[in-house]
A and B are shown apart, each in its own frame.
Chain A
């Protein structure tokens, strides 16, 4: 069974630029999550989708972050414009029952 795929793995941008991350969850998983992990902190939920509907986006900074999940499968997370404090690892996960499976993450550096 293929795992959660994410791209790119690494991204370096200047502040005020835009960036987008892509996630392909495990086939058949209805629930998809995006987490932000800042150095020294645990992963923090940004947004949770159930199929292509948003379940929880209470911690998503909506003035600069957006996310979509078209057709209930792949998802993209966008940051526009990026700030220095957005430097982090962005993890995508999908779940089946209790079990949540993670992709390798995208490490974003904002200069």
Chain B
């Protein structure tokens, strides 16, 4: 059974703090690694799709790295803002398959 692990489960930081989350996934038959941000009552929003070992992606204050050989990805948020409060989901896929999600990391940012 393929499993995706995310840590921490939840996180509370102050505005301006930088933070990072971890996603662990099976390293065999890797196809793509996805990060989503999911705010309550909204659609999960795609942040990044990464496909190559060593990939690094950046979108504003958020960045992500990928290591397919050891099966992990990091998501970094620099200078957290209250609007960053959400659940961050990591999902892994093999070729032609649907996404396998972790349980998510819930981030709460206080002003």
Interface residues of A (CB under 8 A from B): 3-4, 9, 33, 35, 40-45, 48, 55-56, 91, 98-105
Which residues on the B side are within 8 Å of A9 (C-beta)? 41
A42 adjacent to B104 (CB under 8 Å): yes
CA of A48 to CA of B99, assembled, Å: 10
Interface residues of B (CB under 8 A from A): 4, 32, 34, 36, 41-44, 46, 49, 51, 89, 91, 96-104
A41 adjacent to B103 (CB under 8 Å): yes
CA of A54 to CA of B51, assembled, Å: 26
Which residues on the B side are within 8 Å of A45 (C-beta)? 98-100
A43 adjacent to B101 (CB under 8 Å): yes
B51 adjacent to A33 (CB under 8 Å): no
A104 adjacent to B32 (CB under 8 Å): no
Pick the contact of A103: B43, B97, B100 (CB < 8 A).
B43
B43 adjacent to A44 (CB under 8 Å): no
B102 adjacent to A42 (CB under 8 Å): yes
